[in-house]
């Protein structure tokens, strides 16, 4: 297990956990195998909280989450565009709201996004950040590299 002061991981939904456009076209998620990486990745931590922070609507988010091979209770907090009063990413507010709802300082959160706008917003919020383009990038090696990068301040 790894403990580097990260108490929560905040995941973007579209492009990190699932391709929402693909889901809307097909009506189901096609990357079940890739999502196993998310569960394994979270297993590298102890006492970790999780959140989804997305610019998708609550309706779309709930529909996608229901189709994922992970139970809905896997997520401690879900923040959608419907929760942020027009302050969607690239505004830092969605990341800050997730942190607040989790009861964990943003400085102890790792925000994972696939877009520059999401990463910039997370940095502006004060979160640690990592960029991925698919769940299969969430490996122990990725975690080790990310934590080394964070410790070095880069």
CA gap 12, 110 in Å, rounded: 11
| Structural domain containing residue 86 | 10-43+60-103+119-152
Q: Is residue 114 part of a domain?
A: no
pTM: predicted TM-score of the whole model, two decimal places: 0.86
Q: Is residue 68 part of a domain?
A: yes
**Residues 13-38: what's their mean pLDDT?**
70
| Amino acid 34: pLDDT | 60
Q: Is residue 4 part of a domain?
A: no
CA gap 75, 71 in Å, rounded: 8
Q: Is residue 113 part of a domain?
A: no
pLDDT in tens, 27-86: 666 555 566 667 777 777 768 899 999 999 999 998 888 777 665 557 899 999 999 999
Q: Is residue 110 part of a domain?
A: no
DSSP three-state, residue 146: helix
What's the full length of the chain, in residues? 154
| Amino acid 2: pLDDT | 45
Q: Is residue 109 part of a domain?
A: no
Number of domains in the chain: 1
Q: Is residue 28 part of a domain?
A: yes
């Amino acid at each position: 297990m790894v403990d580097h002061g990260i108490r929560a991981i905040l995941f973007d939904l579209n492009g990190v956990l699932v391709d929402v456009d693909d889901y809307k076209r097909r009506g189901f998620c096609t990357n079940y195998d890739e999502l196993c990486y998310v569960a394994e990745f979270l297993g590298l931590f102890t006492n970790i909280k999780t959140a989804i922070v997305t610019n998708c609507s609550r309706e779309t988010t709930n529909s996608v989450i229901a189709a994922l091979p992970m139970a809905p209770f896997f997520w401690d907090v879900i923040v959608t565009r419907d929760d942020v009063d027009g302050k969607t990413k690239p505004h830092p507010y969605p990341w800050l709201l997730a942190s607040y709802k989790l009861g964990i300082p943003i400085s102890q959160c790792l925000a994972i996004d696939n877009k520059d706008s999401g990463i910039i917003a997370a940095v502006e919020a004060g979160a640690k950040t990592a960029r991925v383009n698919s769940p299969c990038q969430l490996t122990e090696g990725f975690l080790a590299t990310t934590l080394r990068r964070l410790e070095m301040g880069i």
